């Protein structure tokens, strides 16, 4: 930007700003580095592999042979007539609904307690020993998912598991040798519990950071207006951390739509009547045990599309209900 001199009424010069356009070569270099390079990386590592997967999903490739036949949409037609895959899809939808919802509710409750759930008089602060609860709740997230799955598989063991032994010892004899992961009524809830248990701590920390960014004056005003803890959490905390909740819901939904590591560790065979089988497990079995890589790739494409639809629904629901708008007036 340069400046030119003009003359005022009194004869004094006055600088006037005059913009200068960036040279075309410099502009092109700027766009190439800051726009073209990221776009090229995105195309090479995201769009191209997805397009390649879509192509292989329309072939009968066995994964090892250099030759294969193009069969069009036959794999996708076969998918939606495959009872096992449709059962897996239904299980994934259950996980995507229940796991994010329960995890976020629990994480928000714990985060609220350790930040603003303390005494109703004096400074706004959390309950006593809030740091201890924060550390304890976060600890499961530091353990690898496969380790968590294997540990809980042993806890649920019918004959030597800690859970049945504890329940039997306190007088609940009906749980002696009870197969938590082998009963169709409890296999999916028990698996969901493991996933929720492993993620609550991380999202608690996420929400704690978000709540700490809310000015204390807003909570003090709510307190002066007579709002109780529950009312404050619903009407003050939740609207102000709405974007964080949306992000958490999407990430948890993606985790639930995959859930391969947890389900494979807990029930590698899909549970009784495929009660806990997920699309990723069915994809793995189809590709590496049956050698049907084209068919398995079609499953992967469907999983990717379902994941994108899930994210779009969350974004749309958040926007439809007024997300992103500051509905509290100071």
Closest CA to 187 of 102, 272, 91, 62: 272
> Per-residue confidence of the chain (330 residues) as pLDDT tens digits?
444 555 555 555 555 555 555 557 777 777 777 787 888 888 998 889 889 999 999 999 988 888 899 999 999 999 999 999 999 999 999 999 999 999 999 999 989 888 887 666 656 677 777 777 777 878 888 899 999 999 999 999 998 889 999 999 988 888 888 999 999 999 999 999 999 999 998 999 899 989 988 888 888 888 888 888 888 888 888 889 998 999 999 999 999 998 899 999 999 988 889 999 999 999 999 999 998 999 999 999 999 999 999 999 988 888 887 665 544 444
Burial of 109 (0-12, 13-18, 19+ CB in 10 A): middle
257-270: b (≥16 Cβ within 10 Å) or e:
bbbebbbbbbbeeb
Name the strand (E) or helix (H) holding 30: helix 24-31
- Kindly report the pTM of this predicted structure: 0.82
Of 187, 211, 172, the closest CA to residue 271 belongs to: 187
For residue 235, the SS3 value is helix
Tokens of 321: 């209900």
Query: H-helix or E-strand containing 2?
Result: strand 2-7
Work out the number of other CB atoms within 10 angstroms of the CB of residue 311: 17
Hey, what are 233's tokens?
């959490």
| Domain at 75-320, CATH homologous superfamily | MetI-like (1.10.3720.10)
Which residues pair with residue 243 across a beta bridge? none
């Amino acid at each position: 930007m340069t400046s030119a001199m003009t003359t005022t009424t009194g004869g004094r010069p006055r600088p006037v700003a005059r913009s200068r356009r960036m040279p075309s070569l410099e502009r092109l270099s700027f766009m190439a580095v800051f726009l073209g390079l990221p776009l090229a990386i995105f195309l090479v590592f995201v769009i191209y592999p997805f397009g390649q997967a879509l192509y292989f999903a329309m072939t009968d490739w066995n994964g090892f042979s250099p030759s294969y036949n193009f069969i069009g949409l036959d794999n996708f037609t076969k998918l939606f007539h495959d009872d096992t895959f449709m059962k897996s899809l239904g299980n994934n939808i259950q996980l995507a609904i229940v796991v994010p919802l329960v995890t976020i509710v629990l994480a928000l409750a714990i985060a609220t307690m350790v930040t603003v759930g303390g005494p109703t008089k004096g400074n706004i602060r959390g309950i006593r020993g809030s740091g201890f609860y924060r550390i304890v709740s976060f600890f499961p997230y530091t353990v690898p998912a496969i380790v968590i799955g294997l540990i809980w598989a042993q806890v649920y063991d019918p004959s030597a598991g800690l859970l049945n032994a504890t329940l039997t010892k306190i007088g609940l004899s009906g749980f002696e040798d009870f197969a938590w992961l082998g009963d169709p009524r409890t296999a999916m809830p028990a698996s969901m519990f493991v996933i929720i248990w492993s993620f609550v701590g991380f999202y608690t920390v996420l929400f704690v950071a978000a709540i700490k960014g809310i000015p204390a004056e807003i909570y003090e005003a709510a307190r002066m207006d007579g709002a109780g803890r529950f009312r404050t959490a619903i009407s003050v905390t939740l609207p102000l951390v709405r974007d964080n909740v949306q992000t958490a819901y999407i990430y948890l939904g993606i985790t639930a739509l995959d859930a391969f590591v947890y389900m494979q560790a807990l029930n590698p065979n899909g549970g009784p009547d495929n009660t806990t089988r997920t699309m990723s497990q069915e994809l793995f079995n189809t590709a590496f045990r049956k050698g049907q890589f084209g068919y398995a790739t079609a499953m992967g494409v469907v999983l990717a599309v379902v994941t994108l639809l899930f994210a779009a629904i969350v974004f749309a629901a958040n926007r439809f209900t007024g997300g992103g708008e500051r509905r509290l007036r100071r």
